[in-house]
Amino acid sequence: MFLLLLIIFICFILIIISPFILIHLISSTNSNQYNGNYLLVIAHPDDECLFFSPILLSIDSNKYILCLSNGNNHRSDELRRSCIKLGINNYKIINDKINLKDDQTISWSSDAILGHVKQAIRQWNISIIISFDNYGISGHKNHISIYYALLKLSQTSQIHFFALQSLPIYRKYFTLIELFRIYFQKKSINMKTFILPVKYCLTPHRAMFEHRSQLVWFRYLYLFFSRYIWINDFTLVY
């Protein structure tokens, strides 16, 4: 009986520490940064920590956030506090309830999105944009609208755009397996992977706790299990 309990205890400890060992090994061998100022374009306050924490906490370059809706003034203040936790000094929130209404059933105007993106590019001298891909992680139409708007930017700009890869549910919530897969997989030229640094292992959670209005029960499960808290895979779009 004692031996069985000891084995169970050892297995439990290994499960707890394995992600941190793998993260250390992967992050110490990966160099994924592009030089230049980064602009993260998100749809809602809390997108920055729920989906993009690994890249925001991995890169050393200047980072800026453009949030295209604010929900209400209370959520604007939540984003401000989250940015402090993530080390983001410069951000902008857009309050356009006509063209950029916070609603998962509505596709946003590409022209409205690009107007704000181009202004941010000029203001912050941006050379790399990061945002959602054509599924928007969860199929959210606001997220997807950003991707299709940014595709049009490639016709008028030399800026690089990296889209966060949406994953099927069986990969989204099995982080430990995904870390093993990343450690042994071959690197792709057009794919950039960012692993949350060990020293920031609780920072995404602290940032999300600033979004108190969004802390419903399933958010806690997301913070515990979601791959996006630990790993970001980006595809180079242009």
Q: Are 57 and 87 within 8 A, CB to CB? A: yes
Residue 235: its pLDDT value, please? 94
Distance CA 146, CA 38 (A): 16
How much is the pLDDT for 35?
81
- What residue segments make up the domains of the chain, in order of their start? 34-236
Side-chain-side CA neighbours of 132 within 13 Å: the count stands at: 26
Region class of 66: left (phi > 0), else alpha (psi between -120 and 50), else beta = beta
The fold of the 34-236 domain, in CATH, is Rossmann fold (3.40.50)
pLDDT of residue 133: 97
Q: Which residues pair with 37 in a beta bridge?
A: 126
Q: What is the pTM of this model?
A: 0.85
pLDDT reported for residue 188: 62
Count Cβ atoms below 10 Å from residue 140 Cβ, excluding itself. 18
Residues of the chain scoring pLDDT < 50: 6, 9, 11-14, 25, 28-31
CA distance linking residue 145 with residue 106, whole number of Å: 9
Give the whole-angstrom CA distance, residue 205 versus residue 85: 10
pLDDT for residue 38:
97
The two tokens of residue 2 are 């004692």
